[in-house]
């Protein structure tokens, strides 16, 4: 009797171990991103600002796409145009999947970035790019939620100024979850690789 109980216990233990191993084998392998993995971040949940046409937008508007959010301003001399061009190049690198990479440009300079100016600027890079603006208070609130720093720097000429600002990209997966942060200058190939990983992850789910 003792031998039978011992055998049953051994078989039950082996079955449990096998089941755990099987479940572990079914667990998807975490993505190794080129950027910083911020999956589960409690900040940057959404960007509730109006676009250049006055329509309030949300990450939910772009379900099924990888959304890339960047904060800047149209008169930025270097960082902004360089970064937006990288986004354009990343879409090209993705081929057919590039149609599911959505750029969102948030202006930090509502005084000069009128809806007309902002729309023309964004669409000059990509006709499908969405540009967001709003009141100074609303923009400041969204920037704060994304931990984006920006500061007005007076220029040499009266009334002229530039903006010092954080220069990074925020990537949302097709389910609208913030997943990856790219530092300035990581390049189009790194951006395309992480966007593809997020798109493929959804397809495999």
The annotated binding site for Cu cation is made up of 76, 80, 165
Token pair of 152 as six digits: 């007005």
By the 8 A CB rule, do 195 and 93 touch? no
Say how far apart CA 79 and CA 84 lie, in whole Å.
9
By the 8 A CB rule, do 87 and 70 touch? yes
Say how far apart CA 90 and CA 125 lie, in whole Å.
12
By the 8 A CB rule, do 18 and 160 touch? no
> Smallest Cα–Cα separation from 128: which of 95, 162, 104, 158?
104
Residue 113, C-beta contacts closer than 8 angstroms, at least 6 positions apart: 73, 74, 107, 121, 133
Strand 178-183 vs strand 36-37: parallel, antiparallel, or unpaired?
A: antiparallel
Q: What is the DSSP string of 157-197?
A: STT-EEEEE--EEEEE-TTS-EEEEEETT--HHHHHHHHHH
């Amino acid at each position: 009797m003792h031998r039978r109980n011992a055998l049953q216990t051994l078989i039950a233990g082996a079955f449990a171990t096998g089941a755990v191993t099987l479940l572990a084998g079914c667990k998807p392998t975490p993505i190794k991103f080129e950027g910083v993995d911020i999956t589960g971040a409690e900040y940057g949940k959404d960007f509730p600002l109006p676009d250049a046409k006055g329509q309030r937008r949300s990450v939910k508007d772009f379900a099924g796409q990888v959304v890339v959010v960047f904060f800047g301003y149209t008169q930025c001399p270097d960082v902004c145009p360089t970064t937006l061009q990288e986004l354009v190049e990343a879409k090209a690198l993705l081929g057919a999947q590039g149609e599911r990479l959505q750029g969102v440009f948030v202006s930090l300079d509502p005084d000069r970035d009128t809806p007309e100016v902002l729309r023309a600027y964004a669409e000059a890079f990509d006709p499908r790019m969405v540009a967001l603006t709003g009141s100074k208070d609303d923009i400041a609130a969204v920037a704060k939620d994304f931990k984006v720093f920006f500061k007005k720097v007076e220029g040499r000429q009266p009334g002229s100024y530039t903006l010092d600002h954080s220069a990074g990209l925020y990537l949302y997966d097709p389910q609208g979850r913030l997943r990856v942060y790219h530092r300035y200058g990581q390049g189009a190939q790194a951006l395309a690789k992480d966007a593809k990983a997020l798109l493929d992850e959804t397809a495999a789910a």
